[in-house]
Structure 1
Amino acid sequence: MAGDSHSSPSSILPILYEDNHLLAVVKQPGILSQADDTGEPDMVTLLKEDLKIRYDKPGNVYVGLVHRLDRPVGGAMLFAKTSKAASRLSESVRSRQFDKIYVAVVHGAPAASSGRLRHYLSKDAARNTVHVSNRPVNDAKEAILDYAVVAKHRDCSLVAVKLVTGRSHQIRAQMSAIGCPLFYDRKYGAPAPEGEQDIALWSASIGVSHPVTKEWMTFLSRPPHHGQWAKFSDADYTNALHIVPSEGYGR
């Protein structure tokens, strides 16, 4: 398991683990995973700049994107430092040997305390949303996740989610589809809060076989101690890493 995080000189990229092949960091909400046409800050560019500074590299620096997090989502994120590592890690993602556990604070509580959700998601590019269907429709992609309610607090629940597929906006859309939108996620039906807030979704754990040593590596990130996250204890967040059903998934 990876050790405690430390911050790089760029101060906004807490490092969970680093060696010659891997770089696991904490993505802050609001930062893009990779560059788009807006020109706004993205993780790949920020990490390249950080590595050049820390290792005094005059030329190009390689940073391979292994997986993505939606822009409003924070938490653990893994990158490759060589093309060989990127290829092997990407294969782990494709073969579903890449464990991802998220925590989310949702309105209300699911009818069942745990279970598997299977939907079909259609992209609406104009609105940057996905539409959820219960059965296959044209161009829709199957979306599967396992979830478990970890704790409840008045009008909300802390839910742990393990992705089986990795679709854009998947957790946000599927939880909304069962009547439990994520806090602050107005795009998927949550009540509008006062002022701007990051949606209550966090990448809490990534597990993967090291691309060279083959050792199973786990990288953990706890959500911040404010907002809806503050309603739940450290014990709740620890429990979230072990409570999600894992039938048919992962190693």
Structure 2
Amino acid sequence: MLEQEENPQQPILSNTAPPVPEAELDDDSEGGDELYEHHRITADKRQELLRLDKFLLNRLPATSRTRIQNAIKAEAVQVNERPVKSNYRVKPGDTITITLPEPPREFKVVPEPMPLDIRYEDAELLLVNKPAGLVVHPAFGNWNGTLVNGLAYHLQNLPTGRNGEIRPGLVHRIDKDTSGLLVVGKTEFAMTHLSNQFFHHTIERTYLALVWGVPKEPAGTIRGHIGRSLKDRKVQAVYPDGDQGKHAVTHYKVLQSFGKVALLQCNLETGRTHQIRAHMKHIGHPLFGDATYGGDRIVYGQRTGAYKVFAEKMLELMPRQALHAKSLGFEHPTTREFLQFEVELPDDFEQLLTNWTQYSTEYS
């Protein structure tokens, strides 16, 4: 009953849950003799009071509010081991459980043939240039057509992910709408060696980002813990005082200014979820086109006249965050040689820069 509405054959709520017929969670459903716990969520100690259905919608973004409300009504959702109504306000420390009539099942990656832009490959690892729009690994709402599905087909025997995660071969990832380089371990040893380099921050990672506005300092370092927002769990928030989230450091340098936007080089010292996107939003320069962090509208400049028309056309040209993982540098697991790889900007990003260059030249 909580499966994604658009595709009822997909697992419900998590990557371990099998499809469950909708009737099994209706008011008059008898269900099975036994219920199986699929989710247990404990509200953060700083959680603001929030309706239960909205709280779960934030935690389970691929599930509709209607299905969540129906499940609550069917008492498949309980708070502190008690059934409650949808308007119950979740408090700090509350434990929310979701039980279903079917036991969780293991999820297996299905190999799928797909074109992969592989830039380097040997017996231990490979580097792939991921296009924007491609999800890296299977998760709720994206069980097929991911990069991992394609890698599984290409290699057939990818090592399993760490701690049982469904991330075979992957030691890091980039967001769906971010383009650029990913390194993939082909053996357990390679995965461990590469993972250690990420853990100790010895991997060199360079991103190119187009941001709204021009930072006052031509180069700088952004420090601020990053963790899930207490208001919207789909968004990462910056906690400058370090009272929440995890330590995060981003170094940036302005490569080119276009007046209302600027091209930055960003180097990651840490690798938190949405790190560049959240850090740039924090300093008042969200990534161009980034709908999640407020960059999908005009942030700098007048919202009138020719500039408004031009800026909106540019947002249509790139309806995603303007972020590209341009280079990766790391020590090879077996040869111990330091390798450096770089890929060009994708066409939409390149065209975006060309257009901003022409506009800034004509109207400067």
The residue identity in structure 2 corresponding to 1:128 is: K
Corresponding residue for 1:136?
A: 242
Corresponding residue for 2:319?
A: 197
Q: Which of residues 146, 153, 162 in structure 2 aligns to 1:42?
A: 146
Conserved? CA contact 2:179–2:346, under 8 Å: no
The residue identity in structure 1 corresponding to 2:347 is: H
Does 1:51 find its partner at 2:173? no
Q: Within 2, Cα distance between the matches of 1:204 and 1:93?
A: 17
Corresponding residue for 1:173?
A: 278
Corresponding residue for 2:335?
A: 213
**What's the offset of the Cα at 1:107?**
0.8
Conserved? CA contact 2:209–2:322, under 8 Å: yes
Q: Which of residues 111, 115, 130 in structure 2 aligns to 1:12?
A: 115
Corresponding residue for 2:214?
A: 109
The residue identity in structure 2 corresponding to 1:16 is: R
Q: Which of residues 182, 189, 194 in structure 2 aligns to 1:84?
A: 189
Corresponding residue for 2:201?
A: 96
Q: Within 2, Cα distance between the matches of 1:143 and 1:229?
A: 31
SS at match of 2:252: strand
Cα deviation digits, residues 171-205 of structure 1 (max 9, x gap):
00111111111111021111334487121000000
The percentage of counterpart residues that share the same residue type is: 32
**What's the offset of the Cα at 1:158?**
0.6
SS at match of 1:141: coil
Q: Which of residues 120, 132, 155 in structure 1 aligns to 2:225?
A: 120
Cα deviation digits, residues 12-43 of structure 1 (max 9, x gap):
31111000001101111122221112214222
Q: Within 2, Cα distance between the matches of 1:216 and 1:229?
A: 33
Q: Within 2, Cα distance between the matches of 1:27 and 1:129?
A: 23
SS at match of 1:226: helix
- Structure 1's unaligned 5+ residue stretches are 1-9, 53-59, 234-251
Does 1:188 find its partner at 2:293? yes
Conserved? CA contact 1:207–1:217, under 8 Å: yes
Q: Which of residues 70, 73, 79 in structure 1 aligns to 2:178?
A: 73
State the TM-score, normalized to the length of structure 1.
Answer: 0.80
Q: Within 2, Cα distance between the matches of 1:48 and 1:173?
A: 31
**What's the offset of the Cα at 1:225?**
2.7
Q: Within 2, Cα distance between the matches of 1:99 and 1:230?
A: 26
Q: Within 2, Cα distance between the matches of 1:223 and 1:197?
A: 16
Conserved? CA contact 2:211–2:263, under 8 Å: yes
Q: Within 2, Cα distance between the matches of 1:227 and 1:158?
A: 11
Q: Within 2, Cα distance between the matches of 1:179 and 1:218?
A: 32
Cα deviation digits, residues 26-75 of structure 1 (max 9, x gap):
111122221112214222221111234xxxxxxx4445111111121110
The residue identity in structure 1 corresponding to 2:258 is: H
The residue identity in structure 2 corresponding to 1:34 is: H
Corresponding residue for 1:25?
A: 128
Conserved? CA contact 1:107–1:180, under 8 Å: yes
Q: Within 2, Cα distance between the matches of 1:186 and 1:95?
A: 32
Moved over 4 A (4+): none
Conserved? CA contact 2:318–2:348, under 8 Å: no
Q: Within 2, Cα distance between the matches of 1:209 and 1:196?
A: 34
Q: Within 1, Cα distance between the matches of 2:295 and 2:138?
A: 28
State the TM-score, normalized to the length of structure 2.
Answer: 0.56
Larger Rg: 2
Q: Against the structure 1 CA distance between its residues 195 and 102, is the aligned structure 2 distance closer, same or farther, given a 3 Å change threshold?
A: closer
**What's the offset of the Cα at 1:122?**
2.2
SS at match of 1:31: coil
Q: Within 2, Cα distance between the matches of 1:61 and 1:136?
A: 37
* Corresponding pairs, count: 217
Q: Within 1, Cα distance between the matches of 2:237 and 2:158?
A: 38
Does 1:163 find its partner at 2:268? yes
Give the structure with the larger strand fraction: 1
Deviating more after overlay: 185-194 vs 13-22: 185-194
SS at match of 1:142: coil
Q: Within 2, Cα distance between the matches of 1:195 and 1:74?
A: 15
- Structure 2's unaligned 5+ residue stretches are 1-112, 160-167, 298-314, 356-364
